[in-house]
Amino acid sequence: MKRATPVWAALMTTVLALGMTSQASAMPNNGPFNLEEGNTPSRLFSGVDHYRLQVSDTANVTINSRGWNTGGGSHSGLTAVLRDGSGNVVTQTRRNGGDFTISRQLSPGDYTLEVHANRFGGRADTTDYYTLTTQIN
ω before 41 within 30° of 0 (cis)?
no
* pLDDT, tens digit, 9 for 90 and up, residues 70-123: 877 666 688 999 999 999 999 999 765 689 999 999 999 999 999 988 765 445
108/106 Cα distance (integer angstroms)? 7
- Provide mean pLDDT across the span 118-132: 69
The residue with greater pLDDT, 129 or 81, is 81
* pLDDT, tens digit, 9 for 90 and up, residues 3-31: 555 544 444 444 344 443 333 333 456 78
Q: What is the pTM of this model?
A: 0.73
